Structure 1
Amino acid sequence: MEISQLLLLTRTATGDDPIAGLAAAAEVRREMERLEAVLVRRARAQGHTWAEIAGTLGISKQAVHKKYGGRGLFRAQD
């Protein structure tokens, strides 16, 4: 998704129509989840530990591993 699309969605989310805002917020959430997964995969590929990633996200190592560990991101060093 391009930045211009995200900007439009955020404008819609803060507009006067709550239903359109909810739909826009849901789309932004889906895009952020996708982006987070990509960045976790890249961090793991570069050798970052689950603990480093979890600390950056502000969640536990167990939570980040549960969410992303089953997607082929796990490396033997952890």
Structure 2
Amino acid sequence: MDTLRAKDPLDALGQIAALERRLDAETEIQVRRARVQGCSWEVIAAALGVSRQAVHKRFAGRTGLLRRNRK
């Protein structure tokens, strides 16, 4: 984080945006993995620190995330 503060603000903002895209992609992967393992939206939401409604709204419409495997 200190290295970002040492940079030109516009360069830093570009790097932050790139990091956010990478984090969003990784979050989607991990949510998909959690659903495949049978985790509920409530459990995933708790892990992300958001409401069940928020996580469901963000991810439920994406391919392969609506249904979970039942064990």
**Normalising TM by the smaller chain, what interval?**
0.7 to 0.9
Corresponding residue for residue 68 of structure 1 = 59
Match of 1:21 among 9, 12, 24: 12
Q: Which of 1 and 2 has higher RCO (CA within 8 Å, sep 6+)?
A: 2
| Cα drift, residue 69 of structure 1 | 0.2
Count of equivalent residues:
68
User: What are the ranges of 5 or more consecutive residues in structure 1 without an aligned counterpart?
Assistant: 1-9
Deviant stretches of 4+, over 2 Å: 10-16
For 2:29 and 2:35, locate their aligned partners in 1 and report how far apart those are by CA, in whole Å: 10
- Aligned pairs for 1:1-78 (under 5 A) are 13-71=4-62, 72-75=64-67
Corresponding residue for residue 6 of structure 1 = none
Q: TM-score normalised to the size of structure 2? A: 0.84
More helix by share: 1
Q: TM-score normalised to the size of structure 1? A: 0.77
User: What are the ranges of 5 or more consecutive residues in structure 2 without an aligned counterpart?
Assistant: none
Further displaced range: 29-38 or 10-19: 10-19
What is the RMSD of the two structures over their aligned residues, measured on CA atoms?
1.8
Aligned-pair identity in percent equals 43
